[in-house]
Structure 1
Amino acid sequence: MKRALGVSVYPDHSDIEKDKAYLKKASECGFSRIFMSMLEVTEGKEVVKEKFKSLISYAKGLGYETILDVAPNIFDELQISYDDLTFFYETGADGIRLDAGFDGNKEAKLTFNPFELAIELNMSNDVAYLDNILTYEANVPFLYGCHNFYPQEGTALPYDFFERCSVRFKKHGIRTAAFINSQAGKIGPWDVNDGLPTLEMHRHLPVDVQTKHLFATGLIDDVIIGNAYASDEELELLGSLNRYQLELAVEFTEQASELEKEIVLTEQHFRRGDITDQVVRSTEVRKKYKNDANPAHDNTQEFQVGDVVIGNDAFGKYKNELQIVLQPHSDDRKNKVGQITEKELLLLDFVKPWTKFRFKEK
């Protein structure tokens, strides 16, 4: 499934012109999806419709898909029914996210709405919610899944729980989404905003590391910035990110040679299928560079987790093989040429047998 980047906007807490400027910038950076909160509306039905319609129409002109976040109280507030989604269709939205669930049959029926609006489900529950809906023969192409975000510090999901919840959707081929946290964003749906990530471990990480992590899991198709507004630098950083292959940020040592930098930065690496616990081995490069001399340097210390090493001239047939250290060890036949940045070390868990990966200089 194609992967997408998204942003969130909160029309009841922001200025529409600022929202439009934000959407334009994000669009220029390759973002194509909007999470638009409707949880806080207090104005009348027609006023709400026109406000959201104006912003969604502008977003459509930029190529966005817009999903409205709704809850049962919104239907009461606006005096509309789950059995008639005309109101949301008339705003121009592409779908609605159900913050609360029903009995399974109701959700399945909603996927057959005449407007072909997507029905997005809350993924952040480790229960057979989706399975129940599917037993009622839901219209699967119009069924999405999206995790929650968590404004309060310390309340977002732990990774193992997130994984279990996500697998329930991914195994059925449902399009999935999760939220990351901008370190610049101050706007969310509530008066508490300690950031808006899905995973607690992401709350204080840079946006690119959060995004790489979610894509590397293979469980999330769309990554959405939960809070507004992300900085231009954050948007540009995510826009340049490789969505389909893990790119690890590396900091080179002073003694790293031009040859070693070329091996690290220009080659397509993959981990050997017959793996070892000690290192990630990229072995094809040694064949290409077997005739290139590589004198020893930075080779007498104990290598640490995340160090990038390359076999030197003393390593025989393994000269110029690239490795990423997973367990501390010493071997003077290897040169330390760099290290994975500390905040990206968590990504090493996702370099599995045959995983393709590249490096990008920090």
Structure 2
Amino acid sequence: MKRQLGVSVYPDHSDVAKDKAYLKKASECGFTRIFMSMLEVTEGKEVVKAKFQDLISYAKELGFETILDVAPTIFDELQISYDDMTFFHEVGADGIRLDVGFDGNKEAMLTFNPFGLAVELNMSNDVAYLDNILTYQANKPFLYGCHNFYPQEGTALPYDFFESCSIRFKKEGLRTAAFVSSQVGTVGPWDVNDGLPTLEAHRHLAVDVAAKHLFATGLIDDVVIGNAYASDEELEAMGALNRYQTELTIEFVPEVNEVEKAIVLNEQHFRRGDITHQVVRSTEVRKKYKHEENTPHNHTEEFQVGDVVIGNDTFGKYKNELQIVLEPHTDNRKNKVGQVTEAERILLPFIKPWTKFKFTEK
């Protein structure tokens, strides 16, 4: 399934001109999805309809898919019904996210709406909610999953719970989404905004690193920035990341040589299938560079987790093999050439047997 990047906008807490400028920049950076909140509407049906039509129409011109976040209270506010999706079709939405669930049969029936609107479910509950909906023969291509975000510091999901919840959706082949948090955005749905991530571990993490992590899990298809407005630099960094394989950012040591830099930066790496706990081994490169000299340097220190090492001239057939250190050890037949940036060491557990990966220089 192709992966998307998304942004969030909050029309009842923002200025439409700012929203449009934000969407234009995001579009230029390769973003194609919008989470748009309708949880706070208070202006009456016609005013709300005109406001959302205008913004969604502009988003469509830029190529965005727009999912509206809805809750039962707004149906009363707008005097509309879950049984009739006409209002959401008329404002131009591509789908609605159900912040609160029903009995399973209702959700399944909604996926057969005549407008082809997607129905997105809350993924952040490790219960048989999805199974129940599927027993009612839901129209699966129009059924999505999306995690919650958590405005309060300390309240977002721990990784193991996130994983359990996500597996329920991913094993059914449904499109999945989760949120990362801009480090400068201040706009969200509520009056508390300590960031808007799905995972607590991401709350103070750069958006591109958090996105890399979500993609590396293999459980999330769409990564959405939960708060607005992300900076241009954040949008550009996320837009530039590789959505389909992990690219680790490396900080080289001053002594690194040109052969080692070529091995690190110019090659497609993958972890050997017969793994070890001590290191990630990329062994094919040693064959290509077996005739290239590599004198020892930075080889007597204890290597630490996240260090990138390459076999030097004293390592026989293993000369110029690249490894990423997973357990501290010493071996003077290896040169330390750099280290994965501290923030990105969160990605190392997801380099499994045969996982493809690359490096970029900080």
- The TM-score bracket by the shorter chain reads over 0.9
In the alignment, does 2:38 pair up with 1:38? yes
**Structure 1: any 5+ residue segments left out of the alignment?**
none
SS in 2 for 1:239: helix
Give the length in aligned residue pairs: 362
Mapped to 1, the partners of 2:48 and 2:110 lie a distance apart of 22
- Structure 2, unpaired ranges of 5+: none
Runs of 4+ in 1 over 6 A off after TM superposition: none
User: Shift of residue 114 of structure 1?
Assistant: 0.5
Q: CA deviation at 1:247?
A: 0.1
Give the aligned partner of residue 113 of structure 1. Answer: 113
CA distance in 2, matches of 1:243, 1:63: 19
Aligned to 2:298: 298
Query: 1:278-357 alignment to 2 at 5 Å?
Result: 278-357=278-357
How far off its partner does 1:346 sit?
1.0
> How many percent of aligned residue pairs carry the same amino acid?
81
The answer as to 2:92 corresponding to 1:92 is yes
SS at match of 1:332: coil
For residues 152 and 236 of structure 2, the distance between their equivalents in structure 1, rounded to whole angstroms, comes to 27
Query: Is 2:169 aligned against 1:169?
Result: yes
Q: CA deviation at 1:208?
A: 1.0
Amino acid at match of 2:168: R
Q: Where does residue 200 of structure 1 map in the other structure? A: 200
**In the TM superposition, what are the counterparts of 1:109-258 in structure 2 within 5 Å?**
109-258=109-258
Q: For residues 297-328 of structure 1, give each alpha carbon's deviation from its aligned partner in whole angstroms, at most 9, with x where no partner exists.
A: 00000000000000000000000000000000
In the alignment, the residues of structure 2 paired with residue 113 and residue 45 of structure 1 have an alpha-carbon distance, to the nearest angstrom, of 21
Counterpart in the other structure of 1:20: 20
- Give me the whole-angstrom Cα distance separating, in 1, the residues matched to 2:175 and 2:207: 21
- Give 1:224 deviation, angstroms: 0.1
Do structure 1's residue 68 and structure 2's residue 68 form an aligned pair? yes
TM-score (structure 2 length as normaliser): 1.00
- Aligned to 1:133, what secondary structure does the other structure show? helix
Root-mean-square deviation (CA), in Å? 0.3
Cα-to-partner distance string for 1:96-131 (whole Å, 9 max, x where unaligned):
000000000000000000011000000000000000
Cα deviation, residue 37, structure 1:
0.2
Q: Helix, strand or coil: the match of 2:161?
A: helix
Partner Cα separation in structure 1 for residue 35 and residue 77 of structure 2: 20
- CA distance in 1: counterparts of 2:189 and 2:346, whole angstroms: 30
Deviations 1:174-215 (A, max 9, x none): 000000000010000000000000000000001111000000
Give the superposition deviation at 1:151. Answer: 0.2
TM score, norm. by length of structure 1: 1.00
State the Cα deviation string for residues 314-345 of structure 1 (Å, max 9, x = none).
Answer: 00000000000000000000000000001111
Residue 274 (structure 1) aligns with? 274
Shift of residue 86, structure 1, vs aligned partner: 0.5
